[in-house]
Amino acid sequence: MEDRLATISTLKHGSHKPDHEYCVMEAVAYVAGEPWSDHPACACPVLTAYAIQLNDRMLDDDMRTRLLLPLVIRLAGSKSTPAVESQRMFLLADRAVRISAPDALDSVGLGGEAQKLRDLPPITDRGSANAATHAANVAAHAADAADAAYVAYAANAAANAAANAAANAIHAATNAAWELAAQALSDALNLTA
Read off the pLDDT of residues 137-192 as tens digits, 9 standing for 90 and up: 888 777 766 654 555 555 555 555 544 443 333 333 346 667 777 888 888 888 87
Q: What is the pTM of this model?
A: 0.79
Whether 182 and 98 share a structural domain: yes
Domain shared by 61 and 89, yes or no: no
Same domain flag for 31 and 88: no
Distance CA 60, CA 77 (A): 27
Residue 107 shares a structural domain with residue 53: no
Q: What is the pLDDT of residues 9-53, one digit of tens each?
A: 999 999 888 888 999 999 999 999 999 999 999 999 999 999 998
Domain extent, residue 12, equals: 2-75
Same domain, 136 and 69: no
* 135 and 150 both lie in a single domain: yes
For residues 181 and 133, membership in a common domain is answered with yes
pLDDT digits (tens, 9 = 90+) for 114-137: 999 999 999 998 888 888 888 888
Phi, psi of 120 (to 5 degrees): -60, 150
Number of domains in the chain: 2
Last residue of a domain, one of 46, 75, 104: 75
pLDDT (0 to 100) of residue 174: 47
